[in-house]
Chain A
């Protein structure tokens, strides 16, 4: 299979992580506030884990609907998928997310004997920093580093890749054809 880690080589000093203060919700999270609670592919528990994971990576991603974004795309044919994963490995996109979410839970249980959503912010941050540094203890498949890369992209998509996200960053959108919905 292709070298998935190829897109992600930056391993940064762990000291950077210790000072990170996580805000619970970002001011740009209105990008697409999603109330929906039922999912098409993911279970509610899986969606909550993914949402919490992405929310630590990009503040506001949970509220912006990252789990719904992933879930909706997984429910569609590859042709209609809006996920970045389709560029890199479209062989089993649902399996990739399912196994990645299971990996988060396995690692969380091993380290803290708790589901990821119930961890403290600093415990969640520690786990993500270790995904960046390829230092997961029990989660190996899919490669946690690559899962971080993909889920980070999904989180960036829903928070910063929309018209509202551009406004938040002070970037003029300048559309030729305005997206019918953020995603």
Chain B
């Protein structure tokens, strides 16, 4: 069937999540003619129904991912589908990577180095926190930067109950930093602490793309096409420039969208897969894969949740779905003991409703019948939790590949993610779990237990680097050999640190947008 062809745009962005929508605003407001292609449907604030059951409609509904290894299972949970992507149901924990996170290879002889350091990103972190609206207090363990635009959230009953456990370990619990308004900010409401963030925040207290980026993007003339699944990028005959993207519309019809610049912002797995799917005679192993590293160095965070029941009432249904308090004490000690490696961060006091993956019922999956009923009645008033994120080394064996033997619903080779936690990271995670159980016992829990180790966040696969023979892009996310293609998102991270990725992802988007603006005449003929 002949492809439908469209009028050329200056900038084509694939994916309308936090990465794609932020980039769209930055370039739209700079006067570029911008089109965003989004695979999922149009979303409205009215879709953010306060229910863990209804919230599932906001989640990933794209092709399946094959996963193997011992730290897998996050793919469908971690991604969004439709306007705003996962930005409609993220928790807004907002952290900067620490200076050492950028130089792990140089400092410790393992994992990788970034091509930039903390100081390169610091002004963009400052910019991003004012843009998104971040509340928090100064934390002596956090990297230096501008003060947060809003004061921290009040300390919750959950955190108060847990705090003494940290004190007993000689650790300090500080108010969390969140892209959630602790008071009205830039025309958006303050948070009501009702614990529904996981189902979306329709009042816009939590920075989500429907309230933050899309009103601005539309005002600046950015066009957004839904139900448009991009299947490959096409190059010119020389292979040195991309000419546009092929996508399937909702009728299954193939379309070709020409563009001067293409920015892939469709999340970690799909950024790598799109480049792999775009192989041609000039790029037989995938676009931007002259180094052979495309898809490699996939990383995650090894997450363990500590659960407990407290004698005091903790009001676990209140607060925010992200953490209420935070402990970064010891984050910079990446070698806490022989045989263990990596940073760790404690996120304390997440709001919990009865159901869904992070709910109180699934915290004790072995209980059923009357035992479950009894537990839930107590947990509804006395439950507390905290989660530790541990660093995973970047290794080439952990990677995203195509499985040509399995086809997805679009007839394309399925994405296959392999991720196993290196031994010394696993030992670090075990130490953290033991620490967490000690903290909960010292806090006086009548019952404390640890959940299983799970992956959270997906990073790497299209890593940035100085050396074109060992990385996919430069520090601006620009493909080494095809300079009109950029990548936006956490797939660029050479190392993941042990903190949630979105503040860093956003800082990188602002830095790349600035680079594109500054090099406009070279990039747009």
B256 within 8 A of A: no
Whether A142 sits at the interface, judged by CB under 8 Å, is no
Closest to A7 in B: B452
In the complex, how many angstroms separate the beta carbon of A87 from the nearest chain B beta carbon?
Answer: 4
A98 CB–B CB distance under 8 Å: no
Q: Are A23 and B370 in contact (CB under 8 A)?
A: yes
Contacts of B186 in A (CB 8 A): none
A128:B368 contact, CB within 8 angstroms: yes
Q: Mark B297-326, 1 if CB is under 8 A from A, else 0.
A: 000000000000000000001100000000
B239-258 residues at the A interface, CB under 8 angstroms: none
Measured CB to CB, the nearest residue on chain B to A91 is B64
Chain B residues positioned under 8 Å from A177 (CB to CB): 46, 48-50, 202
User: Contacts A2-B67, A6-B452, A87-B76 known; A81 to B195 CB distance under 8 Å?
Assistant: no
**Besides A7-B357, A178-B49, 13 other A-B contacts (C-beta < 8 A):** A2-B72, A6-B73, A7-B452, A10-B449, A21-B370, A56-B368, A58-B373, A86-B56, A86-B60, A87-B59, A88-B76, A156-B355, A178-B50
| Nearest Cβ on chain A to B460's Cβ, whole angstroms | 18
Compute how far the CA of A180 lies from the CA of B47 in the bound complex, rounded to whole angstroms: 11
Task: Give the shortest distance, in Å, between A178 (CB) and chain B (any CB).
Answer: 7
Closest A residue to B364 by CB, please name it. Answer: A10
User: Is B467 an interface residue, CB under 8 A from the partner?
Assistant: no
Q: Chain B nearest CB: distance from A54 CB in Å?
A: 10
Would you call B366 and A132 a contact (CB within 8 A)? Answer: yes
User: At the interface, is chain A mostly helix, strand, loop or mixed?
Assistant: loop
30 A-B pairs in the complex with CB atoms less than 8 angstroms apart:
A3-B70, A6-B452, A7-B454, A10-B366, A20-B369, A21-B370, A56-B369, A81-B61, A82-B54, A84-B357, A87-B77, A88-B76, A125-B369, A132-B368, A157-B355, A160-B355, A161-B51, A161-B52, A169-B376, A170-B377, A171-B354, A173-B50, A174-B50, A174-B192, A174-B195, A174-B317, A176-B203, A177-B46, A177-B202, A178-B50
Kindly list chain A residues whose C-beta atoms are within 8 Å of the C-beta of B67: 1-2
Q: How far apart sit A153 and B372, CA to CA, in the bound complex (Å)?
A: 12
Interface mask (B36-68 → A, CB under 8 Å = 1, otherwise 0): 000011000010111111101101110010111
CB within 8 Å of B: which residues of A? 1-4, 6-12, 16, 20-23, 26, 56-59, 77-84, 86-91, 125, 128, 132, 149, 152-153, 156-157, 160-162, 165-166, 169-180, 182-183
Residue of A nearest to B72 (CB): A2
Between A20, A132, A177, A183, the greatest number of chain B beta carbons within 10 A of the residue's beta carbon is seen for A177
Least CB distance, A19 to chain B, in whole angstroms: 9
Q: Shortest Cβ distance from A5 into chain B, in angstroms?
A: 8
9 smallest beta-carbon distances between A and B, as pairs? A161-B355, A175-B50, A10-B366, A174-B194, A79-B61, A160-B354, A2-B67, A179-B51, A2-B73
* Interface pair A83/B56, CB less than 8 Å apart: yes
CB pair B372 A57 closer than 8 Å:
yes
Note all chain A residues with C-beta closer than 8 A to B130: none
Q: How far is the CB of B193 from chain A (nearest CB, A)?
A: 9
Q: Are B366 and A11 within 8 A (Cβ)?
A: yes
* A4 CB contacts on chain B under 8 angstroms: 73
Q: Is the CB–CB distance between A90 and B64 below 8 Å? A: yes
Complex CA gap A37/B318 in Å reads 38
Contact of A156 among B61, B194, B362 (CB under 8 A): B362
B41 and A20 form a contact (CB under 8 A): no
Q: Are B57 and A82 in contact (CB under 8 A)?
A: yes
Q: Decide yes or no whether B29 CB sits under 8 A from chain A.
A: no
Residues of B with C-beta under 8 A to A152: 361, 365, 368
In the assembled complex, the CB of B352 is this many whole angstroms from the nearest CB of chain A, namely 10
Count B-side interface residues using an 8 Å CB cutoff: 62
B353 at the interface (CB under 8 A from A): yes
Residues A10 and B56 in contact in the complex (CB < 8 Å), given A161-B353, A176-B203: no
A161–B50 touching, CB < 8 Å? no
Cα(A8)–Cα(B68), bound, Å: 18
Residue among A125, A169, A173 facing the most chain B CB atoms (10 A cut-off): A169
Kindly list chain B residues whose C-beta atoms are within 8 Å of the C-beta of A59: 369-370, 373
Indicate if B356 sits at the interface (CB-CB under 8 A).
yes
Knowing A10-B364, A22-B369, the reply to whether A88 touches B73 (Cβ < 8 A) is: yes
Instruction: Find B41's partner among A6, A22, A79, A180 (CB 8 Å cutoff).
Output: A79
Residue from the list B57, B361, B364 in contact with A160, Cβ < 8 A: B361
Residues of A within 8 A of B52 (CB): 157, 161
Most buried by A among B317, B367, B368: B368
Docked pose: A149 CA to B451 CA in angstroms: 14
Q: B61 near A78 (CB under 8 angstroms)?
A: yes
Q: Are A179 and B54 in touch, CB under 8 angstroms? A: yes
Chain B residues within 8 Å of A172, by CB: 317
B196 at the interface (CB under 8 A from A): yes
B202 touches A176 (CB 8 A): yes
CB-CB under 8 A from B356, the residues of chain A are 84, 153, 157, 161
Q: Are B373 and A26 in contact, with the CB atoms below 8 A?
A: yes
Residue B2 interfacial (CB < 8 Å): no
B370 contacts A81, CB within 8 Å?
no
Q: B371 is contacted by which of A16, A23, A173 (Cβ under 8 Å)?
A: A16
B454 touches A153 (CB 8 A): no
Contact B53 A161 (CB under 8 A): yes
Tell me how far the C-beta of B10 lies from the nearest C-beta in chain A, rounded to whole angstroms.
Answer: 32
Shortest CB distance A83–B (Å): 7
B359-A156 in contact (CB<8A): yes
Task: Give the complex CA separation of A21 and B367 in angstroms.
Answer: 13
Please give the distance in Å from A123's CB to the nearest CB on chain B: 14
A86 touches B370 (CB 8 A): no
Give the shortest distance, in Å, between B392 (CB) and chain A (any CB): 15
B73 close to A7 (CB less than 8 A): yes
In angstroms, how far is the closest chain A Cβ from the Cβ of B68?
7
Within 8 Å CB of A176, what residues of B? 48, 50, 192, 194, 196, 201-203
